[in-house]
Amino acid sequence: MKVKRWLAGALALLLVAAGCGDDDDGGDGDGVTLRLVTHDSFAVSDEVLEAFTAESGIAVEIVASGDAGAALNLSILNRENPLGDVFFGVDNTFLTRALDADLFLRHRSPAIDDIDPRFVLDDEHRVTPIDHGEVCVNFDRSTYPDGPPATFEDLADPTERGRLVVQNPATSSPGLAFLLGTIAHFGEDGWQDWWRALVANDVLVATGWEEAYYQHFSGGSGEGDRPLVVSYATSPPAEVIFAEPQPDDAPTGVLVDTCVEQIEFAGILQGTEHEDEARQLIDFMLSPVFQADMPMQMFVLPVVEGIDLPEEFVAHAAVVPEPLRLDPADIDVNRDRWIDEWTEIVLG
């Protein structure tokens, strides 16, 4: 879920233990420090991790390792000499790759029963769902006073020529998610023709989310001239929260029918020397205090049911009751081929 660059400044986080743990790893009485390997967009409030340290005696060091795909690849390459103890940030588009690499230990958190079963994609509990969100087309409200296009089909209509910017799925997580959403919508035999129609309709391809949103999108904090962009269902509340002064209404909206689901997972890395403490950290990430902190930190949604959302999310985030989905096993088998086909069609 991840809305990326509003999170700068919360990524280099090293907490010193607030007290002594009761574990045997401490030796001289000092608490254990867990290394949490994650992507560059991970963020959490200082006081939230400090609360975990105060309660458990376990400190947490954040090891930011690039974007989600790069961080996962590094952990797979270093499986025999793990970069840390816990990994956060593998999503459903790369889940099977991580599981096939035997990267994680099994752990069934007691809080798993408080999670909607649709988020639990590994019956063996090698990974635990932590957050979810949707990648969707966002629109500039000022361009569409009478209403925006609604569907994938509408985006290929000549009336929308030169208005949409997307991300390259080979270099961008939301770009890949959006490609998968079009495959889920049109099917294996139909998505290619839709992308050909987009090319004919002058779609613009950016390398990543930041370029697409800030440089080419005309809505909100964007400085471009295209009123349609692939972003997130939670982008509108971010436009309100970070605006000065804050507007009553979000300047951007979401085309709900284009939304595809992303789920982020955490797992205990094989080879950790602090397995018991790692289990405690996974459980803490499903606690109400951590789950309630995520929306304002990473602009993602909690997976634990009953967590109250910030009022800005209630007022401005899009509600997506039925996001598009693909089976992670299907993604794993076809991902590279789909990206290659997309590249040939769109970039020629």
pLDDT recorded at residue 71: 86
Query: What does the pLDDT read at residue 4?
Result: 34
Identify the band that residue 30 occupies on the pLDDT scale cut at 50, 70 and 90.
Answer: low
Domains 5-133+262-309 and 134-261+313-347 share a fold: yes
What integer is the mean pLDDT of 152-157?
A: 98
Q: Which H or E run includes 226?
A: none
Band of pLDDT at residue 69, cut at 50, 70 and 90: confident
10: pLDDT strictly greater than 80: no
**pLDDT (average), residues 9-16:** 30
Tens digits of residue pLDDT in 113-145: 999 999 999 999 999 999 999 999 999 999 999
d(CA 96, CA 183): 18
**Pairing outcome for strands 128-140 and 228-232:** antiparallel
pLDDT tens per residue across span 230-267: 999 999 999 999 999 999 999 999 999 999 999 999 99
Specify the CATH superfamily of domain 134-261+313-347. Answer: Periplasmic binding protein-like II (3.40.190.10)
Q: What pLDDT is recorded for position 66?
A: 79
Q: What is the pLDDT of residues 181-206, one digit of tens each?
A: 999 999 999 999 999 999 999 999 99
- In this predicted structure, what is the pLDDT of residue 173? 86
- Of the candidates 335, 323, 304, 271, the residue with the CA atom closest to the CA atom of residue 116: 304
Listed by start position, the domains of the chain span 5-133+262-309, 134-261+313-347
Residue 3 clears pLDDT 90, i.e. is over it: no
pTM for the whole thing?
0.84
* Alpha-carbon gap, residue 85 to 118, rounded angstroms: 27
Q: Residue 302 above 80 pLDDT?
A: yes
pLDDT at 315 over 90: yes
Name the fold adopted by 5-133+262-309: D-Maltodextrin-Binding Protein; domain 2 (3.40.190)
Q: What mean pLDDT value characterizes the chain?
A: 90
> E-strand spans in 183-292?
204-206, 228-232, 252-269
Question: What is the arithmetic mean of pLDDT over 14-33?
Answer: 42
